[in-house]
Structure 1
Amino acid sequence: MQRSHRSVTIWEPVRKYLLICVLAYLASSVGYTQAPAGVPARPRLVLVVAIDQMRFDFLDRFEPLYKAGLRQLIDRGGVFTNANYRHASTETGPGHSVLLSGSHPSHSGIVANEWWDPYLNRSINVIDDPTQTTVGGRGRSASPANMLTFTVGDALKATSPRSRVVGVGMKDRSAILMGGRRADGAYWFENDGGNFVTSTYYMNAAPAWLDDWNRSRRVDRFASQSWNRLVDDVALYEKYAGKDAVEGERDRKDITFPHPFVAMPPATEHYVELRRSPFGDEAVLDFALEAMKQHELGKDAETDILAIGFAATDGIGHQWGPDSHEQMDQMLRLDIVLGRLFAQVDATVGLANTVIVLSADHGSRPIVEISQERGVAARRFAPKAIQTAVTSAFAKRYPGVNDLMSYFATDIYLNEDAVRRHKLDIREVERTAIDALLATGAVERVYTHDDLRSTAPSSDPFLELFRNAFFAPRSPHLQLLLKREVYVTSTIGGTGHGSPYEFDRHVPVVFMGPGITAGRYTDASGPEDIAPTVAHLLGLQFPREHDSRVLLEMLNR
């Protein structure tokens, strides 16, 4: 593939406008990373690896067992041991939007994986874009249009148009949000058909190599395999992950190895199963290496960016939890996958010419039943109970008014048209809902738009996290801080994330490459620091949040 500028399309005026916005933002930003003097020569490749649902403790807990990619990062990288997200929306969309933009959801507009649009009267997925169509197979019409900020890749291409930026992920929102607005390509996997696809936002038609890849059906080679322990030593797994087959895992049935595929290709259910197995990461790796080759990343002096989102840790974590033998096995296999990735980058680009960054979009909470075994009064709480509490309170307080809630997703969107139509006081409506929510015993605190718009100081340790996640046109009217031990779910097993507690916010941040001093760094940090630090390494001006920073302590002086 020849390195050249894009052909002009109908989107070119939009891209030019966005470039102007980028430059204006850079010029006017109060907090920004200066283009530093005397930094090392730019690397040929910046490789960003996002591990969906990787808690920081996975790095330390299984450290003696890592032998490949994670071993390299631990031994040769700058490891930030106290990296926590500075926002409350610990979901996939918000997390991935932060990694290469450094922007809080309050500025990016990526407040959740989906939100309610009162004008369209429906929920909006984080990467929905009905003006685009899928390329390479069936799937969601998607683009980064909903992301209101820009990434390091966007800033890089504004100053170095011949640089290439590519995002690859099992999930669409991972590839798209890390790639940014000016990416040369973003590719993700779709269950419907089992293909890697992209959209017309990036290209008008699928390149021949993408069609060839999908026709090869390489992704189907795992169908005959059964997932068993990588190491045939149950005692080893019990030492590092505890006992197996714990009550509360998955559906409380499929909780022991081996885990064979039930459905076979081309059934959609097979690809759903693939996502929650380590083989999903292998499929992403294979495709990412092909995309790296086809886009000629790292082939010349112009810095390129490749962002890869591995999602098997998330699929497995939701089903079996962070303390399971399955999740331990996934981390051991991920170590091998990353070793293969780094070896190929070394062979084609050279690790001496590559800066590698590893982080995660969020963590996860322990399985409720495991917490109970540890003496924690944890419990599952049905979302319907929360919704019913509010609707019942509305029915009692406002007889005959039955349309005050537009959308319920644990957090609550009120119907402002109904409030006006019935001539109600919205703050009184909020107070009615808040009283009902607090009475459930599952809710610690409820934040309103007034609370989150305010800049008044507060002793509430969670308020700033919610403010950083607040974007008024998209955020719920009522945002719930659930009690720490409460997991709101309709499932009988598994676990999740989405809270502002440290088990959901504490993630790895690791840098490795030229200019990076290996070691463990304990000062407070967060994924919001990744983008300004990468920008610093590339000599770019780049805005940063008031509470983020450049990770100077690891940089060679």
Structure 2
Amino acid sequence: MKKLLLLLIIITTSITQAQQKIQQQRPKLVVGIVVDQMKMEYLYRFSDDFSQNGFKKLLGDGYTFHNMHYNYMPTYTAPGHASIYTGTTPAVHGIVGNEWFNRTTGKNMYCTDDASVIMLGDGVAKEGEMSPKNMQSTTITDELRMTTNFKGKVIGLSIKDRGAILPAGHFANWAFWFSKTGSFISSTFYGEKLPDWVTQFNQEKKYMTYINKGWDLLNPIATYNESLSDNNPYEGKIDKTKDPVFPYDLKKIYDTKGAEILKSTPYGNDILADFAIKTIEKEALGKDNITDFLTVSFSSTDYVGHTFGAHSIELQDTYLRLDKTIADFIASLDATVGKGNYLLFLTADHAGAENASYLRDHKYDVKNINENTFTTDLKKFSEETFGVNVILDFSNANLFFDKAIIKEKALELSKIKQSFKDYLMTYKEVKRVYTEEEILNSTGNDYYLNFIFKGYDSKQNGDIVVLYGTGNIDFGITGTTHGTPYSYDTHVPCIFYGWNIKKGESYEKKEITQIAPTIAQKIKIPFPNGTESNVLLEILK
């Protein structure tokens, strides 16, 4: 009996020690930060004006991949967030855009739409009818939940719904996003009601503190010499009643637009950081030996970029303020979770193009493409060539044909595809045109086709995909956009910092889909189920 008891004690002790060893091989908290529309170049261009405790701290004490790229097209927000956390591309995880026309259903859809759930919180109609159900692969956050028997918490936060929901995955405890009302909301996919602390945070209406103080420059205007003049022809407006110059009276804009105006200012990042710090505190993230995961997506950089462009003082000021926000967030993590107890990575969901008007004014012959005009031209070509409009939809550079009309008129689909391909190639701004057959039969030898192949889902995407030439953008004359396979849209920062991360840097080309499997290996959990499992060895050594 004594021998049996001794054996049980030895076995129990061995199991406990093994569990403790595994726990020691993982940080208390993983923090994933995504900065929406952040070009790697911004870390260089604005460096002189950054503080020592924000981006410079991450660059100086962490491991930086200077040559990190997206490896597919389209480079949009939803596919970007999904790809970071699944470790695969839209061809596998199925998030092929922010919103897109779906070939199978014949309808437009939004990346996180879910009519089966109900909004939680004080939001506006349908803002909360969201979930991750459209994402077809698991995420690194899903794998953590399963590995810890669902004891490790996963929470996703963002101003945008897609920036909160997709990174947090299918099994998240919560995802919270910012409503037009100024409140953080969620959906019944995650629970029956908002946690009390979220309701209390919303009731405090802290966003009004930012609205009331307005948006003026952080530093003297003379120091913003990395940007164009404060009022230039390439930037749009958030206040239609005045030129796009500082200061901005946010209270006046709020009176007509409501709290949504916060998204297009640096303060959208600030209110999110406030909420993230509160989340760590109230949800006790990183307080035990079971690893938790917090995903934070700063969206205001994207809104500011789209409105004002890559060379605006508004964008520079947004990044200088984000630098201070990052510094405060790191300090909070150090104080609450503890230095060395958390693993943090920072990247972006895509980068951004130069404004085409700006390039033209400097004698680069590129064009602003109007998708509506483009569609009208294609329909006219169809009617003149085939006697009927065979186009079902043209969006996100995908052309869909109406198979019912084609069958009814006894037309041959292969000839239609070739005719449209030949016609599209007559446009100066079009670089390549690929049919579905060419995409699915890709050999890997065509550099651009590789990007399209990895972003193409044959059950959802079009019959033809159009690639515009470098520098041409399907956007208006002010601000900027993204979506192409060119380096200005694919080149993003990637920095690892904190738990078991050595200082260093790499200039070798890396792919965004390497982040998730690297974290899986780093913290000893399974790979997301769709990943190719290529890792960043520098982080694992």
Q: Using structure 1 for the length normalisation, give the TM-score.
A: 0.88
List per-residue Cα deviations over 1:458-506 (Å, max 9, x = no partner): 2x211111111011111122211101121222x3311111111100000
> Counterpart of 2:345?
357
Structure 1 residue 469 and structure 2 residue 455: aligned? Answer: yes
TM-score normalized with structure 2 length: 0.90
Asked if 1:53 is matched to 2:37, the reply is yes
Show the counterpart of 1:453.
Answer: 440
Identify the match of residue 425 of structure 2 among 428, 438, 451: 438
**How far off its partner does 1:172 sit?**
0.3
User: What does 1:53-92 align with in structure 2 at a 5 Å threshold?
Assistant: 53-67=37-51, 68-92=53-77
Tell me which residue corresponds to 1:7: none
- Find the counterpart in structure 1 of residue 182 from structure 2: 194
Change (3 A) 1:262 1:492: farther
Determine the C-alpha separation between the residues in 2 that align with 1:136 and 1:527: 34
The question of whether the paired residues in 2 share the 8 Å contact of 1:91 and 1:113 is answered with: yes
Contact 1:141–1:199, Cα closer than 8 Å, also in 2: yes
When residues 221 and 39 of structure 1 are mapped into structure 2, their CA distance, relative to the original with a 3 A threshold, is closer
Query: Could you tell me how far 1:266 is from its partner in structure 2?
Result: 7.0
Q: String of CA shifts for 1:306-354, please: whole Å, max 9, x gaps.
A: 0001011101111111111111111110001111111111111013101
Give the 3-state SS of the residue equivalent to 2:212 in structure 1.
coil
Report the Cα distance in structure 2 between the residues aligned to 1:43 and 1:424, rounded to whole angstroms.
Answer: 61
1:260 equivalenced with 2:256 (yes/no): no
User: Is the CA contact (8 Å cut-off) linking 1:379 and 1:486 kept in structure 2?
Assistant: yes
Shift of 1:546: 7.6
CA contact (8 A) 2:35 2:299 kept: yes
Give 1:548 shift.
6.0
Letter in 1 for 2:165: I
Asked if 1:146 corresponds to 2:134, the answer is: yes
Name the amino acid aligned to 1:173: R
Aligned mates of 2:326, 2:200 — CA distance in 1 = 25
The alpha-carbon distance between structure 1 residues 321 and 264, as it changes in their structure 2 partners (threshold 3 A), is closer
RMSD: 2.1
CA–CA separation in structure 1 for the residues paired with 2:524 and 2:103: 42
Compute the displacement of 1:155 (Å): 0.7
- For residues 398 and 529 of structure 1, do their structure 2 counterparts lie closer, same or farther at Cα, with a shift above 3 Å needed? same
Confirm or deny that 1:524 pairs with 2:535.
no
Alignment-derived partner of residue 155 in structure 2: 166
Q: Secondary structure at the match of 1:224?
A: helix
> Which residue of 2 is the match for residue 506 of structure 1?
491
Describe the SS at the equivalent of 2:157: strand
Residue 90 of structure 1 aligns to which amino acid in structure 2? Answer: T
For the pair 1:125 / 2:125, whether they are aligned, the reply is: no
* Structure 1 residues 40 and 423: alpha-carbon distance in aligned structure 2, compared to 1, 3 A threshold: farther
Question: How do 1:10-29 and structure 2 match up within 5 A?
Answer: none
Residue in structure 2 matched with residue 94 of structure 1 by the alignment: 79
CA distance in 1, matches of 2:353, 2:103: 32
Give the aligned partner of residue 175 of structure 1: 164
Alpha-carbon separation, structure 2, partners of 1:39 and 1:523: 32
SS of equivalent to 1:462: helix
1:495-532 residue CA offsets vs partner (Å, 9 max, x unmatched): 11111110000000100012211122111112211101
Instruction: For 1:146 and 1:82, locate their aligned partners in 2 and report how far apart those are by CA, in whole Å.
Output: 30
How far did residue 243 of structure 1 move? Answer: 3.7
CA contact (8 A) 2:182 2:260 kept: no
CA–CA distance in 2 between the matches of 1:508 and 1:146? 27
Aligned with 2:279 (options 291, 309, 312): 291
Shift of 1:64: 2.4
2:9 aligns with none
Aligned to 1:64, what secondary structure does the other structure show? helix
Shift of residue 406, structure 1, vs aligned partner: 3.3
**Alpha-carbon distance in 1 for matches of 2:200, 2:22:** 45
Q: Which residue pairs with 2:465 in the alignment?
A: 479
1:105-152 Cα distance to aligned partner (Å, 9 max, x none): 110001111121356442100000111111112224100000000111
Q: Secondary structure at the match of 1:306?
A: strand
Instruction: State the one-letter code of the partner of 1:141.
Output: E
Residue type of the alignment partner of 1:487? I
Structure 2, unaligned runs of 5 or more:
1-20
Q: Which moved more, 1:151-160 or 1:222-231?
A: 222-231
CA shift in 2, pair 1:120/1:140, >3 Å: farther
1:60 partner amino acid: Y
Query: Structure 2 matches for 1:203-218, cutoff 5 A?
Result: 203-218=191-206
Tell me what 2:323 maps to. 335
> Paired residues, what number?
513
In structure 2, the residue matched to 1:245 is 231
1:441-472 Cα deviation digits (max 9, x unpaired): 221111221111114242x2111111110111
Q: Partner of 1:420 in structure 2?
A: 407
Pair 1:123–1:283, CA change in 2 (3 A): same
Q: Give 3-state SS (helix, strand or coil) of 1:259's partner.
A: coil
CA gap of 1:266–1:166, structure 2 versus 1, over 3 A, is farther
2:332 maps to 1:348 = no
Contact 2:262 2:268 in 1 (8 A): yes
- What whole-Å deviation, never above 9, does each CA across 1:391-423 have from its counterpart, x for those lacking one? 011101121x23532344442222222222322
